Structure formats: structure tokens, C-alpha cells
Amino acid sequence: MLPKIEYSCPQTLEELFEILEKYKEQAKVLAGGTDLLVSLRDRIEKARHIVDIKKIKELEKLEYREGEGLVIGATVTLRKILESRVVKERYPVLWEAVRTIGDMILKNRATLVGNICNASPAADSAPALLILEAKVRILSREGFREVPIENFFTGVKKTILKPWEIVKEVFVPEPPRNHFGRYLKMMRVMSEDLSVVGVAGLGYREGGDVKIRLAYSSVAPTPLRIREAEEAFLKPGTIEEKIERAVQIAAEKVSPISDVRGSAEYRLHLVKVLTRRLLKQIVEVV
Amino acid sequence: MEKKKIIFKINGVEKTVEVEPNKTLLWLIREVLKLKGTKKACERGDCGLCTVLLNGEPVKSCLVLAVEVDGSEIVTVEGLSRDGELTPIQKAFIEHGALQCGFCTPAFVIVGHWLLNRNPNPSREEVVEALNGVLCRCTGYRPIIEAILDVAKKRK
Ligand SMILES: Cc1cc2nc3c(=O)[nH]c(=O)nc-3n(C[C@H](O)[C@H](O)[C@H](O)COP(=O)(O)OP(=O)(O)OC[C@H]3O[C@@H](n4cnc5c(N)ncnc54)[C@H](O)[C@@H]3O)c2cc1C
Ligand code: FES
Ligand code: FES
């Protein structure tokens, strides 16, 4: 059973912010509800007032502009993203990450913005958004601010959002030309689960050099981009040496824990195996 | 808790109900409307047995608040057959023996209907992907997949 709550479903941003200002910490935004309703039921989250944002037109945008990038509004479902040809063709690593989240029925409700606002270390869209250098667009009555997603997560289930703010949309800039990107997600079962470890990577050529970006889920309190591992590719050496150096640095920078999905040791092992596997695939293509 | 008035259509019939905001769509369907075909099991989105169609799309009704469906249209397994005649998918489930205890059957039938409506000729992979969110603990997935593919084949 869910605890006692009040519910409102504003039609406009003004109404929404009025409610958020009134209830502050006691209000929770409801998008797809696939995290929120479970956490309320388990008494992990507390809320007096639930504000449903699904009727607000300004949050529905899924739009790509050539040369600029992609805007994903707060109420855009994972299913819409998966069905978007532009996302599949221009942002394949994001598309692949979204595909791994839950199942088809869940994707009809769950949103990408909800995935990052929930701020689980296992959030599958986060590593892809990190390497695509997405910006989180935050709105409140006080105004608008845009934050690199790298600065958005502050801890397990924690973000920089104030209780009276919402994420309006995520902006994903145009990725590097001719990049190749993938998300490798290791699960306990073949079908549906959170990741034991997830790795998103992309590579591209600049001048004659291969440039790499790498980010992880389920290896630290927040989804994590590891720039030091990326920089291994800027130093001299053969491709094999660079890959091994990146693998070692990634393994040093993660801080995995043991839980029901795997031990810290196993996670560390997976970080090495998956990073190596992914980097080999990337350097073969770019 | 203050009750909210909601108006919605279920299996083609309009209803007006007053509900508390902490009640789920699953509760509304089973406990208020007494439609027991939709099953309650995990109540946390994992099993998919509570799946119904909300405005034509499958949702896990334990993860939807009843107040959210104001103005919407819902279809449960009871709303599929016409004039007492089973749908082709329901018949195919019987022909293929696609059930053992039957607890998961309503959810698979609902998802099967949704899938064939939007994609009349799905590949095996597409069927598997669509069914991924529903669990069968008697583990009879193969006949369920076969039944849905068979309906598609016969329609061609
Ligand atoms: C069966 C099941 C399987 C799952 N599998 C996966 C998986 O494989 N990978 C994965 O990463 N996740 C998974 N999840 C978790 C969840 O489905 C995703 O995180 C989903 O993307 C959350 O989106 P939502 O719209 O449902 O969020 P909601 O539940 O509506 O919201 C989540 C949180 O974010 C806040 N919030 C939402 N939108 C905003 C906004 N615009 N501004 C400010 N705050 C906001 C809410 O208040 C809440 O705290 C799974 C969940 C279930 C139940
Ligand atoms: S009862 Fe809703 S998914 Fe299990
Ligand atoms: S037939 Fe028993 S759970 Fe599927």
C-alpha cells in the first residue's frame, strides 16, 4: 500500500511552480512513476504531495536540430526515444542504453529525465549522456539554469536539484563527426535487470589520433565519467598499450560496492573486461 | 485523505468513481470494479501480471495511480472478447496449450493484442521483446510465443 498522499495534475508550468513552492521538500514530481511509486511504497522516499507533470505541454518536446543537437523533454518516454530514427542514427550509444532499460511495457511510462532525476548509480541512460556531454536544463520560478550532466549527480539518489526546481529537458549536443559509440551492460539475467556494471564508450578521429570517451554505471555512488582513462589515448604508444593503460586507470578510479547484484571484486573484474572489450570494438571501427 | 472524482472508460463503459490519491489503477480495477482477470502479484513493476491497456498502450497498473487515469480509456482482459466469442489470440492460447496455472495468461493475452494491433506481422524477436516485461513462473514461454506468431500467420 502507498502512504497517504495528495495529488495534483497542473496544466501549466506556473501552476506547477506554485505547488512546488508551497510544499517544497514535501512535494515530489511524478513523471512515469516507475521509480517514484516503488520508493513511496517501500517508504524509501517520503512525500506529502505528488505533482504529476504529464499534462504540461512545454515538457513534451523531442526535437533534433541539425548542427545543434537533441532536446529530450521531461515527459518524453523511453519508448518515444527508442522509436526515434534520429536518436538511433545520430546518437546510437544513447539509443542502445535506453533499449536496455526495463522492458517494453515499462518503457511506455518511464522517462529519460526520470531516469537521471532518480539518480541511481545504475541509471542506464547516464553513462551515455555523460560521454555525449549532455546538459541538464533546470527550471524554477527563479529562472533557468543549464548544468553539464557531469555536475548533476551528487551522490546515491542525490542531485543538485532544489525541491522547487524541475528538470525541464536534457539537451544532447551534436556528437563528434563519424563517432562510434556503444553501451555494454552486464546483467545477472538475460532479460531484465539493473546493471551489475555498465560501460558507455565512444571514439572518433581528430587529426590522425583516436579520441575516446568513457563512462560507467554501478561502479561508484554516481554514474561516472573517467577522463583520466580517456587521456591514456593522448599519450604515445601502440593502440594495444593505450587500451591496457585505459583499462588499468579505469580500474583504479572506480569504487564499486558489494550488493545483491554482485561483489565489489566481481564488479572490478567486469570494469576491466568490459572496458577492454569496448575499446577494442571502438578502435576497430574508427 | 481527500477523495478525487475521476471519469474514465473501461472496456467501453464510462465510469465515475471517487478514489483516494494513494490507490493504484490495479486496485481500482480489482477492488472497485471487481474485474479480477488483471492479477496482483509483485506490486512493484517486476512481474507484469497487472498489465492493462491505457489509451491503447500496455502499462503495469500497479505503477499507475488511479487518479492518473481521469479522462482515459482502459481495456482489461475482460474487454477483449466480443459477444461471448473468444479472440483469435485467446483461441490460439488454448490450441497451443500456452498456459499451465494460468495466472500470467491475462497479461500475455493483453500484450499479444497490443503487439498484433501495431505490428500485424512481428518477427519472433519482436514477440520476445514485447513479452519481456511479463513473467510466467510455470516457465511456458515457448507456447505463448508460438500462439501469438500463429495468429499473425493465419491472418496473412
Ligand atoms: C521493473 C523495473 C525495471 C527497471 N529497470 C531499469 C533498468 O534496467 N535501468 C534503469 O536505469 N532503470 C530501471 N528502472 C528504474 C526506472 O524505471 C527508470 O529509472 C525510469 O527511467 C524512471 O523514469 P520515470 O519517468 O518512471 O520516473 P519517476 O518515477 O516518475 O521519477 C523518478 C524520480 O525523479 C523525480 N523526477 C522525475 N521527473 C522529474 C523532473 N522533470 N524534474 C525533477 N524531478 C523529477 C521524481 O520525483 C522521482 O524522485 C526499472 C524500474 C522497474 C520498476
Ligand atoms: S503486480 Fe504489477 S508488475 Fe507485478
Ligand atoms: S502459466 Fe503459471 S505463471 Fe504462467
- Whether A145 is in a domain gets the answer yes
Q: Given this model, what pLDDT does residue A208 score?
A: 86
Per-residue pLDDT, B109: 98
Which residues of A are less than 8 Å from B23 in CB distance? 2
Contact A192 B132 (CB under 8 A): yes
For residue B26, report the distance from its CA to the centre of ligand 2, in Å.
Answer: 9
Confirm or reject contact between A41 and chain B (CB < 8 A): yes
SS3 of B90, please?
Answer: helix
**In this structure, is residue A224 part of a structural domain?**
yes
Same domain, A168 and A209: no
Which residues of chain A does B111 touch, with a Cβ-Cβ cutoff of 8 Å?
104-105
Q: State whether A117 and A189 are in the same domain.
A: no
- 3 state SS of B87: coil
Q: Which of B79, B106, B136 is the last residue of a domain?
A: B79
Residues B77-95: tens digit of each pLDDT: 999 998 889 999 999 999 9
CB-CB contact of A199 with A256 (8 Å):
no
Residues of chain B contacting residue A106, judged by C-beta atoms under 8 Å apart: 45, 60, 133
Read off the pLDDT band of B155 (50, 70, 90): confident
Quick one: A144 and A159 in the same domain?
yes
Same domain, B71 and B109: no
Q: Give the per-residue pLDDT at B85.
A: 94
CA distance A42 to chain B (A): 9
Is A131 inside a domain boundary? yes
Mean pLDDT of B101-121: 97
User: B26 and B58 share a domain?
Assistant: yes
Q: What is the 3-state secondary structure (H, E, C) of chain A?
A: CCCCCEEECCCCHHHHHHHHHHHHHHEEEECCCCCHHHHHHCCCCCCCEEEECCCCHHHCCEEEECCCEEEEECCCEHHHHHCCHHHHHHCHHHHHHHHCCCCHHHHCCCEHHHHHHHCCCCCCHHHHHHHCCCEEEEEECCEEEEEEHHHCEEECCEECCCCCCEEEEEEEECCCCCCEEEEEEECCCCCCCCCCEEEEEEEEEECCEEEEEEEEECCCCCCEECHHHHHHHHCCCCHHHHHHHHHHHHHHHCCCCCECCECHHHHHHHHHHHHHHHHHHHHHHC
Kindly state whether A220 is in contact with chain B, defined as any CB-CB distance less than 8 angstroms: no
**Looking at residue B1, what is its pLDDT?**
74
Query: For position A192, what pLDDT does the model report?
Result: 77
CATH of the domain at B131: 1.10.150.120
User: What CATH number did the domain enclosing A14 receive?
Assistant: 3.30.43
Of residues A178 and B1, more confidence is placed in A178
Residue where a domain stops, chosen among B27, B60, B79? B79
Task: State the Cα torsion B113-B115-B121-B124 to the nearest 10°.
Answer: -110
**Which are the contacts of B105, defined by CB distance < 8 A and separation ≥ 6?**
B93, B98, B99
Statement to judge: residues A192 and A265 lie in one domain: yes
How many domains, in total, are found in chain A? Answer: 3
CB count within 10 Å of CB B101 equals: 10
Same domain, A16 and A120: no
In this prediction, residue B2 carries a pLDDT of 86
B129: confidence class by pLDDT, cuts 50, 70, 90: very high
Clarify whether residues A192 and A275 are in a common domain. Answer: yes
Size of interface A-B (CB pairs under 8 A): 77
**Boundary-marking domain end, from A154, A173, A192:** A173
Do residues B105 and B142 both lie within one domain?
Answer: yes
Q: Which pLDDT tens digits describe chain A residue by residue (286 residues)?
A: 899 999 999 999 999 999 999 999 999 999 999 999 999 999 999 999 999 999 999 999 999 999 999 999 999 999 999 999 999 999 999 999 999 999 999 999 999 999 999 999 999 999 999 999 999 999 999 999 999 999 999 999 999 999 999 999 999 999 999 999 999 999 887 777 888 999 999 999 998 899 999 999 999 999 999 999 999 999 999 999 999 999 999 999 999 999 989 999 999 999 999 999 999 999 999 9
Whether A31 and A65 map to the same domain: the answer is no
Question: Domain range for residue A139?
Answer: 58-173
| Interface touch A109/B24, C-beta < 8 Å | no
State the pairing for strand pair A166-173/A69-73: antiparallel
- In terms of residue numbers, what domain contains B109? 88-155
Same structural domain for residues B62 and B92?
no
Q: Are residues A206 and A125 in the same domain?
A: no
Number of domains, chain B: 2
The three-state secondary structure class of B46 is: coil
Does the pLDDT of residue B139 top 80, yes or no? no
Note if the pTM is more than 0.95: yes
